[in-house]
Amino acid sequence: MSDTKHHPNRLGLWGWLGGGRWGMERYLYALHRVTGLGLLAYFLLHIVVTSSRAFGADRWKTAMDAVTGPLFKFGEYLVFVAFAFHAANGIRLALLELGFAVGEPIEPVYPYRTSVHVQRPLAIGALALAAVLVAIGTASMWLVD
Amino acid sequence: MIRDQKLWTWHILAGAVILVLLGLHMLTMHMEGVVKLEGLNPASAANEAQGGGKLQPIDWANVKARSAKVFYLVTYILLLGAALFHGLYGATNVVHEANPPRWLHKTVSALAVVVGLGLFAFGTWAAIAAFLLAKAL
């Protein structure tokens, strides 16, 4: 808290909606948080629902019957899509955290170039990985019996 | 500050654990129609070998078969702990980023610890109880 006392986050959550000069990566940042919070909400309920297996077959069937139907299936699919994006983008963030794909430091000569441009292929790769996972999940959940 | 650095490092490490174990969970539960891996749903293979119909991953026969395996018991508890820490620490960071008043900052952090420990204890108990039940059946 003390580190940010003199530099308040003036935009707050509204800042998630504007990419500004950070472009695509800023939206990936916002989407990473939105999917993370969604996955967390699902996960906390998932722990409670799936714990019914500890009470035997009848309680398990009752719990599963309560979360069956097209609406729940679609919700489950959205959770899978959120997982695919969050996982792929999480790999990108971990690689950047470890210093990969950020490029070499350069002299600040005009016109300035940011390392965001160097990172862009990694962001595109992460989105491509997420798309492949979503395609497999879509085929498995909706197309293959 | 040092405490935050340690927690952030654990956050990333937990993410790596989740990537592997949740990936396995997704393969087992949501991608088994396309990606066929032997042993992920033990009852399915046995049922099909006996000429029975196709079983879903959430059918009790598969749930019981997975619950009886030590591998699933251990990986479930590991995934539970890693995912609770990663998720709740991530959520508290989202709140902290918005620069809330100090009392809200502390309340959210305390709530995350209480919810995390409570659900970890409950989920671990459920996994062990299901393991013992599946072994007894």
- Give the per-residue pLDDT at A53: 95
Q: Is residue A8 part of a domain?
A: no
pLDDT (mean) for A7-34: 79
Residue B98: CB atoms within 10 A of its CB come to 14
As a whole number, the mean pLDDT across chain A is: 88
Q: A51 in helix, strand or coil?
A: helix
Is B122's CB within 8 Å of A47's CB? yes
Q: Which residues of B touch A39 (CB under 8 A)?
A: 87
- Give the per-residue pLDDT at A91: 96
Mutation target for A interface from B41, B97, B122, B125: give the one with most A CBs within 10 A.
B97
- Give the per-residue pLDDT at B112: 97
Inform me whether the pLDDT recorded for A33 exceeds 70: yes
pLDDT (mean) for A95-99: 91
Inform me whether the pLDDT recorded for A51 exceeds 60: yes
Write out the two tokens for A59.
């309680």
Q: Is residue A1 part of a domain?
A: no
- Interchain contact B31–A (C-beta under 8 A): yes
Q: Is residue A14 part of a domain?
A: no
Inform me whether the pLDDT recorded for A52 exceeds 60: yes
* Dist. CA A132–CA A88, nearest whole Å: 10
**Which one is predicted more confidently, A14 or B90?**
B90
Q: Which residues of B touch A56 (CB under 8 A)?
A: 133
Is B26's CB within 8 Å of A80's CB? yes
Q: What distance in Å separates residue A114's CA from the closest CA in chain B? A: 24
Inform me whether the pLDDT recorded for A58 exceeds 70: yes
As a whole number, the mean pLDDT across chain B is: 90
Q: Is residue A16 part of a domain?
A: no
Write out the two tokens for B14.
């937990």
Q: Is residue A80 part of a domain?
A: yes
Q: For residue B120, what pLDDT band results from cuts at 50, 70 and 90?
A: very high
| CATH number, domain containing residue A118 | 1.20.1300.10
Q: What distance in Å separates residue A137's CA from the closest CA in chain B? A: 6
- Interchain contact B16–A (C-beta under 8 A): yes
> 0.95 cut: is pTM over it?
no
Inform me whether the pLDDT recorded for B135 exceeds 70: yes
Inform me whether the pLDDT recorded for A42 exceeds 70: yes
Counted across chains A and B, CB pairs separated by less than 8 A come out at: 93
- Give the per-residue pLDDT at A35: 97
- Interchain contact B35–A (C-beta under 8 A): yes
Q: What distance in Å separates residue A110's CA from the closest CA in chain B? A: 32
Q: Is residue A13 part of a domain?
A: no
Q: Please, are residues B84 and B120 in contact by the beta-carbon 8 Å criterion?
A: yes
Is A91's CB within 8 Å of B19's CB? yes
Q: In terms of residue numbers, what domain contains A108? A: 22-143
- Give the per-residue pLDDT at B119: 98
Q: Please, are residues A111 and A18 in contact by the beta-carbon 8 Å criterion?
A: no
Q: Is residue A12 part of a domain?
A: no
Tally of domains in chain A: 1
Burial label for B41, CB within 10 Å (0-12, 13-18, 19+), is: buried
Q: What distance in Å separates residue B133's CA from the closest CA in chain A? A: 7
Q: Is residue A2 part of a domain?
A: no
pLDDT digits (tens, 9 = 90+) for B59-75: 999 999 999 999 999 99
**Which one is predicted more confidently, A145 or A31?**
A31
Side-chain-facing half-sphere of B23: CA atoms under 13 Å? 13
